Chain A
Amino acid sequence: MKNALDQFDKAFENRLRLQIMSVLVANESYDFNALKDLLQATDGNLASHLKALEKEAYITVNKTFIGRKPNTQYFASETGRNAFKKHLQALENLIKQQKS
């Protein structure tokens, strides 16, 4: 059990962060407002967790403007994808360990 827990990614301890990562892994890119709608998060909360993921280099950010409105696109990086996979694997291992 200890091994499985060790594999858990600290960056994904927060639920919203893990959710953000799930969306970005499943999609080529997602913009801020769409993420906000989908995850029903507040601006501040979402922004701070996106920042945290960016700091880990798990996601990349592309800021553009559509007219005057800022349009920020988020992408999962290779590092982020691998970390996400590892985290899921750890969850699955945990379940397997419980069964055996």
Chain B
Amino acid sequence: MFYFVTQSSFKMEEKDAYAELSSIRQLMERSAKFISLSGLSGVLAGIYALAGAFLAYTIVYGNSRSLDYRDNYVNDADVLPQLFLIAVVVLVLSLGTGIYLTIRQAKKKGERFWNPVSKRLVTNMAIPLITGGLLLLIFIIRGQFDFVASACLIFYGLSLIAASQFTFTDVKWLGCGEIVLGLLAAAFPGYGLIFWVFGFGLLHILYGTIMHFKYNQ
């Protein structure tokens, strides 16, 4: 009888140990990673970027046929503010949808939107992003446009890699992609818009779609 009792508690212990270990692992993961990032917001950000790039293209190159001279150049006094405005609108729209969809996702998953992990994610992302933003402003003010597209992509990529520690590791690959495109953009000046379309448009749509099907469903 005594033997039987110890035997059964022995068995319980083993089951408990398994359950305990896996629940600890889960909790450590869940407490250190913010998993409510929305894949859909990536797709939408990509679409905004494509629309913005298209608008920018029509402003700079106009509707002229390819053999004509361009209508405008980037550094024309009236073109620059327009391009700047487009970039800002794209940025604000992307951030807005991103934040909105993430809050919604967090609610669905029962995760707090503003928790220690998302705080860390945002601060880690903000440092390279703000550095890059200031550098871009300096470039623009000094009238040097060669590396604007390249710096955009590189600093955005760096900020994604910094943020990826606190969320899905897939974000790191998106960041690496952006950095590679940014370096290529620096190597081929004058094709900035094309790399911009690839980096902010297509890569975002691809990444967002993968994330959506991988995690959101």
Chain B's closest residue to A39 (CB) is B27
Query: A91 near B21 (CB under 8 angstroms)?
Result: yes
A18 to chain B, nearest CB (A): 7
Q: Report whether B20 and A30 are in contact in the complex, using a CB–CB cutoff of 8 Å.
A: no
> Within 8 Å CB of A38, what residues of B?
27, 30-31, 115
Q: Which residues of chain B (72-113) have a CB below 8 Å from chain A?
A: 112
- Please report which residues of chain A, range 29-70, place their CB below 8 angstroms from some CB of chain B when the two chains form the complex: 29-31, 34, 37-38
Which chain A residue lies CB-closest to B24? Answer: A22
A94 at the binding interface (Cβ < 8 Å): yes
Residues of A within 8 A of B32 (CB): 26-27
Q: How far is the CB of B30 from chain A (nearest CB, A)?
A: 7
Q: Chain A interface secondary structure, helix, strand, loop or mixed?
A: helix
Per-position 1/0 for B3-14, Cβ under 8 A of A: 000000010011
Inter-subunit contact B116/A27 (CB<8 Å): yes
Asked if B2 is at the interface of the complex by the 8 Å CB criterion, the answer is no
- Interface size, chain A (Cβ < 8 Å): 21
A-B pairs with lowest CB-CB distance, top 9 = A26-B28, A23-B31, A26-B32, A98-B14, A91-B17, A94-B17, A22-B27, A22-B24, A34-B116
Interface Cβ pair total, 8 Å cutoff: 52
Judge whether A25 and B115 touch: CB under 8 Å. Answer: no
B10 touches A1 (CB 8 A): yes
| A1-34 Cβ-contact flags toward B at 8 Å (1 or 0) | 1000100000000000011001101110111001
Does B31 lie within 8 Å of A30, measured CB to CB? yes
**Are A29's CB and B17's CB within 8 A?**
no
B10: min CB distance to chain A, Å: 7
Q: B8 to nearest A CB, angstroms? A: 13
Q: Annotate B24-60 by CB proximity to A: 1 below 8 A, 0 otherwise.
A: 1001111110000000000000000000000000000
Q: A10 CB to closest chain B CB, in angstroms?
A: 15
